[in-house]
Structures are given as structure tokens and as C-alpha cells.
Amino acid sequence: MRITDIRERSTPVSRYADPALRSGDLTTSLVMVTTDAVRAGRRVTGYGYASVGRYAQGGLMRERFIPRLLAAQPDSLLDATSGALDPRRAWDVMMAGEKPGGHGERCVAVGALDMALWDIAAKMAEEPLHTVLARGLGRGHEVPARLRIYAGGGYRYPHNDLERLADEMRRFVDQGFTHAKMKIGGVPIESDLNRIEAAMRQLPAAAHLAVDAMNAYDVEMGLTAAARLAPLGLWWFEDICDPHDFAAQARVASTYARPVAAGEALFSLPEARLLDTHGGLRRDRDFLLFDPVHCYGLTGYLRIIEHLTQQGWPRSAFWPHGGHLFSLHIAAALGLGGAEVTPFAFHPFSQLSDRLRISEGHVDLPQQSGIGFELNPDIMQAFAAAFA
């Protein structure tokens, strides 16, 4: 088999269910990789996108990574035994000639293409991605039928914030979620405490709510927030300060006995090593939220998992960021703690699929071959419109 075409398009995404509410003019890259292979009477096509919360990476893809894949000798992308596409070999082709360091958002461009390549690999095997991954990685455990998840959202609304936040949390619970995450930071702590109280009232207990400061605090503000949050008994306190200010994070973590979470805004193994060495994280309670797409795709994410588990981190500490089906498969196949879902934000990627049952804080795993984007009409409509 060989890759015959690769296309990329940028599309807007919003942090809100109502895209008319301004949220930083965020975008993401849609990727479609076409092959000459046929399964079940259909051309095997892989779909991917550059996760959420940042910006499209089309320039990097078009200038460097897509041309390398299309110019590669077909055999260099294939598994020597099966003759099927091997995303790990394709990853090596994409990264050929790239210098160490300079991760920036290069890793996101590679990760979006990587997602589409894994979609192809699983479709070629005619199995869901979590099955292909668990077998290929030799995990030696049975993939569960359901995975633990939480609802991500809780962005500050420009009008009627407390009322709309409470309504959002109620809808999370109505959908079957038991845990949720909301945003804090950038405003006086009293305002955030009012928001937290409004959100907590909709959930079973305070320990079911995580808060995400979106890297907004310096060390003094972080210490103040930690002191005020500590009595609440929250699930975790996430992204306290600048992601590279490991000293500030360590200082705040040292005063905060409840769990903290970090890693969403770090995109490589070297950064993960620095976080583990200097960030003051505690293996017995804290959480690691690296996004597989933002970390050079599955290949880069696996390197982070391998290193940190060797350092004593339990797999249950890893909860991939992003809210997408790709993370769902990875978390299930690797036996991780769970995964994020964004029920309302970042349309058309704001839900996994109406066909995947959510109850008691768990979701059914997709059983369709590949990642399963085809189970979500909104996602497939976005791909069809982008590549018409």
C-alpha cells in the first residue's frame, strides 16, 4: 500500500458551545490522508486534527512534514512483516533532519498527521485503535469495555457567568459525568471562589471538581490561590503558573497538600523530564495531563510514558488532555487513569459520539475500526466541508 494524497485545512474552534462568544480566535488543523488500500469496499482514509486549545499548524505541515511523507519510498513507511502502514516508521520519516530542541509547536503539526496515520493503521487491521495499540505495545492486559472520563469546560462567560457556569455543570451531570473541570485565574481570587462554589453545588462533592488556572499565576498569586483552595478539598489544581517556571510550581505545590496537575502545555520528553525533576510533583497523588497530539503524536507520548513510569509514576496518574477519541483509545490501551472529554467546547470536536454511552463517569469504547470519527456526524461534516 502507499499514501496517495495528504490534505490539510484550518478551521475555527471555540471554547464555548455558542461560537459567537469570543474565545481567542482559536483554530485547529484538519488532516486527511488517503491511501490506495481498500477495506470493506472503501478506500482507506485516515483523519486527524491538531487537538484543541491552540492554533492550526498548516504551514509547518505543508512546508516540511507532508512533503516528506509523500516523497518517501513506499516501503520506508510500511511494516516489514505485514506490509501495512507503520505510523512509527512514518514518524521517523517526518522527523528526518529535524534538530533537537526547537519543539515550539512543530510537535503539534507532527501529532496531527500522526493521528491520521494511526487511524489508517487500525482501519487496515479492521479493528478499533485501542485493540491495535494494546496488542502492538504488548501491554498484556485486557482492554476494558469502558473508560473513566471527566468533563472539561467551565470557561468564564462574558455575561451571566455564575448562572451559565452552574447550568453547564448540571448538564455535565445529566449527560452521565461525575467529575468536571473548570477554569480559574486572571481575576481576583474571591471571584474564582464564587465560581467554584457555584460549580461544586452541581456535583456530588468538592472532590469531583478540578480547577485549571491556565498558567495564569506568578509564584505569589499561586501561593495565595493555593491557600484559599486548600480547604475546599478539590480533585486537583491544574496549570498553576508558566509551564516552564518549574521553581514557581514546586514552591506552590510544596504548600498545597491536595493533588496538582501539570503537563498540558509541555510538548516533549525533555520538557517532561524537567517537570518531573524540578516541578515539585508528587508521585503518590498528582496528575500528568500531556496531550498525545501535542507531544509529537503517539510516538512522542509513549516516550514520555515510558520515562516517567520508569521514574516511579503510576499509569493511573496520566489523564490525556484534549477531549478527543484518539486520547480515549490511548488511555484504554495503555491502562491510564482516564481521559478528558469536552461535551460542549471546541465544536465540531465537542463530543465523542452520541453512540458511545456515558454513565457513572465512564464511556463505552468505540468498536468501529480505526479511531471512530465516522461515529460523529458533526466531525465528518467538518472534514467533508474542508476537503470538498
- d(CA 275, CA 100) in angstroms, rounded, equals 18
For the CA atoms of 234, 236, 239, 244, the dihedral, rounded to the nearest 10 degrees, stands at 130
The question of whether 321 is a catalytic residue gets the answer yes
Which cell numbers hold the place of 370? 480505526
Out of 321, 329, 347, 362, pick the active-site residue: 321
Helix (H/G/I), strand (E/B), else coil: 149: strand
3-state percent helix, strand, coil for the chain, nearest multiple of 5:
40, 20, 40
Amino acid at 24: G
Q: Which residues pair with 183 in a beta bridge?
A: 212
Cα→Cα distances 183→57, 71, 157, 166, 254, Å: 25, 44, 11, 13, 22
Using CB atoms within 10 Å of the CB of residue 101, give its burial: 0 to 12 exposed, 13 to 18 middle, 19+ buried.
exposed
Out of 183, 208, 324, 329, pick the active-site residue: 183
Give the single-character DSSP code of 272. H
290 neighbors 318 (Cβ within 8 angstroms): yes
Residues comprising the chain, all counted: 388
Say which residue the cell 445529566 belongs to.
174
Using CB atoms within 10 Å of the CB of residue 281, give its burial: 0 to 12 exposed, 13 to 18 middle, 19+ buried.
buried
Shortest CA distance to 264 belongs to which of 301, 232, 235, 234? 301
Q: Which DSSP helix (H) or strand (E) runs through 5?
A: strand 3-12
- d(CA 301, CA 319) in angstroms, rounded, equals 12
Say which residue the cell 467546547 belongs to.
345
The question of whether 347 is a catalytic residue gets the answer no
Helix (H/G/I), strand (E/B), else coil: 22: coil
- d(CA 144, CA 365) in angstroms, rounded, equals 8
Which residues participate in catalysis according to the annotation?
A: 183, 321
